[in-house]
Amino acid sequence: NLSTVSEFVFVGLSDAPEIRFLLFVLFLLIYLATMAGNIMLLIAISTDSHLHSPMYFFLGNLSLLDLLCPTITVPKMLGTLLLEHKEISFSGCLFQHFFLIAVVGMEIFLLTVMAYDRYVAVCHPLRYPSIVSMKLCAQLAMGTWATGLLNSLLHTSLVFTLSFCGPNKIQQYYCDIPPVLALSCSSTRSRELVILVVAGVLGSSACVVTVVSYVYILLEILARNSPGIWHKAFSTCGSHLIVVCLFYGTTICTYVRPSFTYSLHRDRVVSMLYGMLTPLLNPIIYSLRNKEVKCALKRVLSQ
């Protein structure tokens, strides 16, 4: 007699109480630092007139996404570690999955838009204000948010319309695609194929635009061959390039692969990298490499 699953249970990161408490303190500190760093960056961008430009407009959107990403998963994980409340309802798991995939998709598309912005800034500096207008910035930002939501709606509908009638223990600290698919008692092959194709097409398209943008930037630098051009270009694009490599690497390792390659311990580590450490590192990377941001942050802290 099979019954429909009404709730899922997260498998804890550790069964030892002392280890759980240490993990709780560690993840709470990381979460608070992430919130503080991104909120300060948002305040600096919104209040400093020197940062009212397309590049910082996109950076503000990135900081907002970096606030949302850990907020979707970390509070529930902290509750699991401290209170051992490991259950989540079916609808709660669905909504957590939807918003997480939406934010991850938005960040991928936003990093692609930021790569295009850096291409125009380096290769067409004189035409930059006319090409990358604030109207275009608003349209591109709205496009990334809309595409991320539609992409997440497709993935969530494919996963949560499956039959769940047996095991309900999710081998992860949040509702993600691979561990949820592994619990379905119906065939998932066709839906996995659709998920892989959609994720592959959208992800590879974003990756190609990013790579092509940086190839053109590299060719422009080599063609000019002027003193200090490498330092200027790296100061302009270095922070974004580091963030792109960090985020793309961890995201591709998690999602663009079949579910039979799912590994409990490896995927937990990778998911923590893009779910917790990347949002923490992004404001640090941008503030440490950018004098304007550092000056704006100093003014915010002094006030």
Identify the structural domains of the chain with CATH numbers, from first to last: 7-302 (1.20.1070.10)
How far apart, in whole angstroms, are the C-alpha atoms of residue 108 and residue 203? 8
- For residue 82, the model assigns a pLDDT of 81
- Rounded average pLDDT over 164-187: 83
- Rounded average pLDDT over 63-87: 87
Per-residue confidence band for 2, with pLDDT thresholds at 50, 70 and 90: very low
- For residue 156, the model assigns a pLDDT of 92
According to DSSP, the residues that pair with 170 across neighbouring strands are 10
The answer to which of 22-31, 88-97, 172-181 has the lowest mean pLDDT is: 172-181
Question: pLDDT, tens digit, for every residue of 28-69?
Answer: 999 999 999 899 889 888 888 888 888 889 989 999 999 998
Instruction: Say how many Å lie between the first and final Cα of the chain, rounded.
Output: 64
The answer to which of 47-61, 252-266, 274-288 has the lowest mean pLDDT is: 252-266
- Rounded average pLDDT over 222-229: 70
How far apart, in whole angstroms, are the C-alpha atoms of residue 94 and residue 66? 21
More confident residue, 18 or 270: 18
Per-residue confidence band for 239, with pLDDT thresholds at 50, 70 and 90: low
pTM of the model: 0.85
How far apart, in whole angstroms, are the C-alpha atoms of residue 183 and residue 11? 13
- Phi/psi of residue 175, each to 5°? -85, 105
More confident residue, 143 or 191: 143
- CA 286 vs. chain centroid, Å, equals 16
More confident residue, 12 or 155: 155
- For residue 1, the model assigns a pLDDT of 43
Mean pLDDT of the chain: 82
229 is written with which tokens? 């051009």
Question: pLDDT, tens digit, for every residue of 129-140?
Answer: 899 998 999 999
More confident residue, 9 or 263: 9
- For residue 238, the model assigns a pLDDT of 67
Secondary structure of 125-161 in the HEC alphabet?
CCCHHHHCCHHHHHHHHHHHHHHHHHHHHHHHHHHHC
Per-residue confidence band for 227, with pLDDT thresholds at 50, 70 and 90: low
- Rounded average pLDDT over 114-142: 90
According to DSSP, the residues that pair with 8 across neighbouring strands are 88
More confident residue, 200 or 107: 107
How far apart, in whole angstroms, are the C-alpha atoms of residue 122 and residue 118? 6
